[in-house]
Amino acid sequence: MLLLRKLLCVMLIIVSSAASAEMFVIRKISVSGLHRISLGTVLSYLPVKEGDRIDSSQAADIIRDLYKTNFFSDVTLKRNKGDLLIHVVERSVIGSLKTTGNSKITKKDLLEVLKNVGVFEGQPLDPAILNAVQQAIIQQYYNLGLYDAKVDVVVTPEERNRVAVTINIKEGPKAKIKSIRITGNKIFSEKILLKEFSSTTTKLWSFLTNSDQYSKEKLDADLENLRSYYMDRGYLHIEIDSTKVSITPDKKGIYILINITEGPLYRLGGFSLGGNLIGKRAEILKLITLKAGDVFSRKAILDVQAKINQFLGDYGYGMPNIKVDPDINENNKKVQVSFIVDPGHRVYVRHIDFMGNYKTNDEVLRREMRLQEGSLFSLSKINESKRRLLNLGYLQDIDYKVTPASDSNNQVDLAYKVKETSAISANLQAGLSDQDGFLYGASLNDQNFLGTGKTISVGFDNSKANQAYSFGYRDPYFTANKIGFSFSGYLQRSNPSKNDLSAYTSKTYGALASFDMPLSEYSTIVFGFGAEHISLGSSVNTSQDANDFLTRYGSIYNQFKLVSRWIYSNIDRALFPTSGFANTIVIEGYGPFNSRSLEFYKADYDANWYQPLFKDFIFHANAQLGYGDGFGRTKTLPFFKNFYAGGIGSVRGFEAGTLSDRKDIYGRSLGGNIMTTASASIIVPSPMKDTVRLSVFVDVGNTYYKKYKISDLRASYGAQVEWRTPIAPLIFSLAKPLRSKPGDQLTMFQFSISAGI
């Protein structure tokens, strides 16, 4: 294109010279061929004006300057006595720009790429640029591993000198990794090193993770992980000499060959600590756990740096600079590390802002802040505020940014960016449960009612054995001193015999009001009181225990109910926790209203522990204990309040609610006044970590009457998938008993599904 322009310039100069070899004065400038571009615009780009003298060299300048505007595809000059006549042909304008066939790269991203190179609607069309764009798009697909991608640009003329540009894309399948080889390694085996890679050859689970699909970005990240692996183990001079990516002729397979030089091993010679230590030298030294003679580890150095940064952040230093200066002795292969501390200014929080909370009121988020505007900066309190926001249950992907105030060196602004999740479910529901069979109902549950952080719930649920109607309200900040208030009302009808648990019917209705009061950042105590009416019925198949109880105490009870609960939790998030410990102790006491009332209590303990392991694997342990008994005139725990075990949430692999050391003559579980279950599981990384959680587990537990017997414990192992849908969780488990006894009701596959219609 440039050569063509030069030829045109030369030709036009010759034409101009032939028309007038002598210099002349421009009397008038005329421009023809304009449709979209205004005359004033053209004149503004000319290097001459009326009244100027012009010769052949200046004619070349005029042509060059007009071509540079990119408005015209052709420019010619003529002289008519003292008039300069300019004729132009305007470039076609892009009237519409469309992309088809793209899914791996979004239309928005493609249009942004095109805009950056000057291809967008309303812009003059340059065919040379379109060719470059075509190659650039193909390169983008190559970077994603789509080597069979084809890009075709179609230009269709339209009226008024416009064109429609359509970019037709055929992405094709992603090339899959057939082999990854590492050469030059002597210290660590190829098998060990490849464990640091997210890219793999095809595995059984690759259809979920796409780990066998090549992309340049993913390989670059893997190479960085490889460097980190060596540098965390003392090999400071690790070099990746070359990376060769080969593609099969059919463009469906990728072979990766990586050549490295490991270099020598380095150890830590020692460390020193200097700079402004704010009078806390002893405390900061305790944060440095490095020891002379240890293998040098970049990760250990960065961990110390982060600890010092956290320490200073809790003393109000919002922008500390912890400089790490390694001094490498190549003779003895030791590294002396100097930590030089510059805490900067002590700062205060000027403004706290929230972004992304389109529904939730600022007040709801602000009351979870552990530091306020005007308070001294504290990194621990900032992170604790983030944890509390995540535990609200309707926020995720929370991040914060600390920005120095532009007009002050001792103030910072704190901005939290949040992403709201659905806090409300309001639908007809239908589903299946391995215990209750087909179930249906309607419910409204809003954890963030009108953006206030209050919870409102109403609903009913029906299954073959149970019907339940309920209403609930909770205000977590009922009073100014952060005391919460909850109220619930309920009506339940039950016929457990339809689930082969026990042959009696029950009708229960009641109400409960409770207040919760925080004791600390992680601890809350709850007190509640209410009333409950219970009416029981029996049949010819009712167990002897139930008949004896009904004979002795009757079948209608009016109860006064007291509930106390202690909750401790430092869990990092409400949805799919990854770290932290939580336990809850609940004690329920039932007292008399009249002579028909029963007197009994139940105590429950539930504990959960999440511990990150490595590469996004998480260990999860759960324990549940329960005990109940009667007092006063009621000598035992009422049979309809017994504990049951088995099924999802208990001991998987055994039918729900069937585990007990006692059964009736029909083989049905009678439950017990003692319950103990425990579970240990490994949560494995999932490509959809915010919606799907995969785990393998071992469960153990049972229920007992009066006396705990370790020999009666049942156990199982298996795998579980939990899927958080917008409406309700779906849980599927496959389990096989490790320890069972004759008469146990076993099941390998269990599920709990609830889906909106």
- Predicted local distance difference test score (pLDDT) of residue 555: 87
Whole-number Å distance between alpha carbons of 628 and 588: 9
Q: Residue 411: in which H helix or E strand, if any?
A: strand 411-420
**Between vectors from CA 61 to CA 57 and to CA 67, what angle results, nearest 5°?**
145
Which tokens belong to 446?
A: 């809003």
Please report, as a single letter, which amino acid is at residue 123: Q
Coil, strand or helix: which one is 100? strand
- Predicted local distance difference test score (pLDDT) of residue 497: 56
Whether residue 696 contacts residue 678, with contact meaning beta carbons closer than 8 Å, is answered with no
Domain architecture of the chain: domains with CATH: 2-90 (3.10.20.310), 93-170 (3.10.20.310), 176-261 (3.10.20.310), 267-342 (3.10.20.310), 348-420 (3.10.20.310), 424-756 (2.40.160.50)
- 435 by Cβ neighbours in 10 Å (0-12 / 13-18 / 19+) ranks as buried
- Predicted local distance difference test score (pLDDT) of residue 430: 46
Number of C-beta neighbours around residue 646 at 10 A: 30
Give the list of residues 6+ apart from residue 24 with CB closer than 8 angstroms, or none: 53, 54, 79, 82
- Predicted local distance difference test score (pLDDT) of residue 1: 47
Which segments in the chain show pLDDT lower than 50? Answer: 1-21, 426-436, 501, 754-757
Q: What are phi and psi of 457, to 5 degrees?
A: -145, 135
Give the list of residues 6+ apart from residue 559 with CB closer than 8 angstroms, or none: 510, 531, 532, 533, 534, 590, 591, 592, 593, 597, 598
- Predicted local distance difference test score (pLDDT) of residue 423: 62
Please report, as a single letter, which amino acid is at residue 62: I
Whole-number Å distance between alpha carbons of 516 and 567: 10
Kindly report the pTM of this predicted structure.
Answer: 0.61
Asked whether the CA dihedral 404, 406, 407, 409 is positive or negative, the reply is positive
